[in-house]
């Protein structure tokens, strides 16, 4: 049973994510528009808001880059037949590619051949977390290529400390400039090892805007980083202005004594995500505010 429900829900989530921005992101873009003083920057934000509205009304993807498809799964240990979920998500991705439609974005890195249906080796990417219970939460994160190309990893020296971490984030934003389609959301992953830091940074993009880190030290760091990034003057679409980032989210893990990995993940203003909870009776609860 689970396969059918998961497939149906995942098609829905891919459609919702592609066509409607979550409420927190829309709110942040409207606030940025109100507060932006640069005339060119304001014009960019006006076009963005207009575009979001048009996409919602027409039910078409807001950006032609409908992303590489990632699913984040929080699966209850008591949910049966979890081995079938991966196949259901692949089928959902293939269906959504035709039904929404999504642009085919899965390419063989060696031959350049496009599979045509957004599925391929290790794509859609599945990020599993096993949690207690009998429910499964599915989040679709279609990730655009422009913002993905700006992602960065540094293996700092432990003596570089938090100051080094902050400089790394600002440097990554300056290097990225206009390319990740600012105003962006930044995910910062600290510690853990190279792969863990990058994974944490990307997962940090799932946190809704306006929800600071529950750890007050990290909440302060997030605020400080956001302010710093917005002092660069890169602005909407890199044409100048105050609003370069809508928010910065930091996640961390303990590190090896010799290592200080820091990763920055960028999400474009079209910060698309949609979540739903599948309950044991097969009913579905949609979680992303504004998405439904």
Residues of the shown chain interacting with another protein in the complex, contacts defined by CB under 8 A = 39-40, 43-44, 47-48, 50-51, 54-55, 58, 60-66, 101-105, 107, 112-114, 116, 144-146, 149, 163, 166-167, 170-171, 174, 177-179, 181, 228, 231-235, 237-240, 268-270
CB of 287 vs another protein, minimal distance in Å: 24
For another protein, the closer CB: 76 or 238 = 238
Contacts of 6 (CB under 8 A, 6+ apart): 84, 85, 88, 89, 92, 136, 138, 278
Question: Cβ closer to another protein: 138 or 268?
Answer: 268
| Between 1 and 47, CB nearer to another protein | 47
Closest by CA position to 243, among listed 21, 22, 24, 30: 30
Q: From residue 165, give the alpha-carbon distance in Å to each of 170, 174, 218.
A: 9, 14, 13
Query: What is the closest distance, in whole angstroms, from the C-beta atom of residue 12 to another protein in the complex?
Result: 19
15 or 136, CB closer to another protein? 15
Min dist. Cβ of residue 274 to another protein (A)? 17
The CB-of-75 to another protein minimum distance in angstroms stands at: 31
Nearer to another protein, 181 or 276 (CB): 181
**Minimum distance from CB of 225 to another protein (Å)?**
10
Nearer to another protein, 85 or 141 (CB): 141
Nearer to another protein, 136 or 264 (CB): 264
**Closest separation in Å from C-beta 166 to another protein:** 6
Closest approach of Cβ 60 to another protein, in Å? 5
Cα(79)–Cα(57) distance, integer angstroms: 37
| Closest approach of another protein to the CB of residue 80, in Å | 37
Residue 149 or 254: which CB sits closer to another protein? 149
DSSP states along the chain: -HHHHHHHHHHHHHHHHHH---HHHHHHHHHHHHH---HHHHHHHHHHHHHHHHHHHHTS-SSS---EEEEEEEEETT-S-GGGHHHHHHHHHHHHHHHTT-----B-TTT--B-SSS-BTTBSEEEEEEESSS-EEEEEEEE-HHHHTT-EEEEE-GGGHHHHHHHHHHHHHHHHTTTT-SSEEEEEEESS-HHHHHHHHHHGGGSPTT---SSHHHHHHHHHHHHHHTTS---GGGSS-S-SEEEEEEEE----TT-EEEEEEEE-SS---EEEEE-TTS-EEE-STTT-
């Amino acid at each position: 049973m689970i396969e059918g429900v998961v497939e149906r829900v995942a098609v829905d989530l891919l459609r919702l994510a592609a066509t409607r921005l979550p409420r927190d992101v829309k709110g942040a873009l409207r606030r940025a528009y109100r507060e932006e003083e640069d005339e060119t920057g304001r014009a960019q934000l006006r076009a963005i808001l207009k575009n979001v509205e048009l996409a919602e009304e027409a039910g078409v993807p807001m950006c032609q880059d409908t992303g590489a498809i990632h699913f984040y799964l929080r699966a209850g240990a008591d949910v049966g037949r979890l081995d079938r979920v991966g196949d259901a998500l692949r089928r959902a991705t293939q269906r959504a590619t035709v039904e929404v439609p999504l642009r085919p974005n899965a390419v063989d890195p060696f031959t350049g051949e496009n599979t045509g249906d957004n599925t391929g080796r290790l794509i859609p990417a599945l990020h599993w977390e096993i949690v207690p219970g009998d429910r499964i939460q599915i989040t679709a994160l279609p990730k655009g290529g422009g913002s993905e190309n700006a992602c960065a990893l540094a293996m700092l020296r432990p003596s570089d400390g938090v100051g080094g971490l902050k400089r790394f984030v600002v440097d990554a934003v300056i290097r990225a400039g206009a390319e990740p389609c600012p105003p962006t959301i930044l995910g910062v992953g600290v510690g853990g090892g190279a792969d863990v830091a990058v994974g944490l940074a990307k997962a940090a993009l799932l946190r809704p805007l306006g929800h600071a880190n529950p750890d007050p030290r990290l909440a302060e760091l997030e605020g400080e980083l956001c302010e710093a990034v917005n002092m660069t003057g890169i602005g909407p679409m890199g044409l100048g202005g105050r609003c370069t980032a809508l928010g910065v989210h930091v996640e961390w893990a303990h590190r090896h004594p010799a290592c200080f990995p820091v990763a920055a993940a960028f999400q474009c203003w079209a910060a698309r995500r949609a979540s739903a909870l599948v309950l044991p009776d097969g009913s579905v609860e949609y979680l992303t505010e504004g998405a439904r």
